[in-house]
Structure 1
Amino acid sequence: MSFADAAAGRGKVVLGVDDQPENIMMLESILESQGFTFFGASSGMECLSLVQRVNPRLILLDVQMPLMDGYETCRRLRRIPEYRSIPVAFLTARKEVEDVRTGIAVGGNDFIVKPFDPVKLVNRVAHWTSRRVNAAA
């Protein structure tokens, strides 16, 4: 899918943000095999730049990244009115109760712990991408 198709809202577009290229490749493989269109970003700043071009229905956001962590990225997304309704699911190795609380407090909608079961990940992605479609209708 092209950026133009994504921006026009065609397809179930997921934006994954992780500073580890192998994690981006794994997400792309899993999600595209299930019919999702996947775009990857390697940093919070890249996410903020790419979100406008790809119009995602869901953002999968790692917490631990250099320069700007996932929490700050989510805070910044939530300050922009056009992006407030995009669900954000933190996808991270951090799993303490405080991590989950912080994720929700900054505007996250879900918290998926790595390592994750691919089937469960696809189910969560399907839930959030369908929810956005239903909410917009």
Structure 2
Amino acid sequence: MRLSISKHWRNKKVHYQLALGYCKACGKYHFPPKYRCPYCSSKDVELTIPKGEGTLIEWTVSYVRLEHLEHELPLIVGLVRLDEGPVVRGVLTDVDPKELREGMRLEAVLRRLEEDGVSGLIYYGIKFKPLSK
């Protein structure tokens, strides 16, 4: 028997990649994507996939033990200004908290978030890691 991600999840673009809304009327990107532009209220908005690179603005490091995130200590959450303009909040990965600095270049990557032992579902999502040079 072959198990795979349910069709609904596979067919939704935004589940496995970072997506922005782009307003054709005013030319601005927004996150999260919406059906109406938050800047000019135009409905002429399309879903777009950004390059996925940005700059670290701020971050916080948590050492609090949470049952479903024990394997992720310390947990680093940061604000990243994407090259397209919007600021997104995300978990940082593959980096020592001591190496973080304002202005650090990051890239969005798909990572395993958690696994539901009962149902066997594996949840994936976007995290940010230092940009490879």
Task: Provide the TM-score with structure 1 as the length reference.
Answer: 0.22
Give 1 or 2: higher helix fraction. 1
Give 1 or 2: higher strand fraction. 2
Task: Provide the TM-score with structure 2 as the length reference.
Answer: 0.22
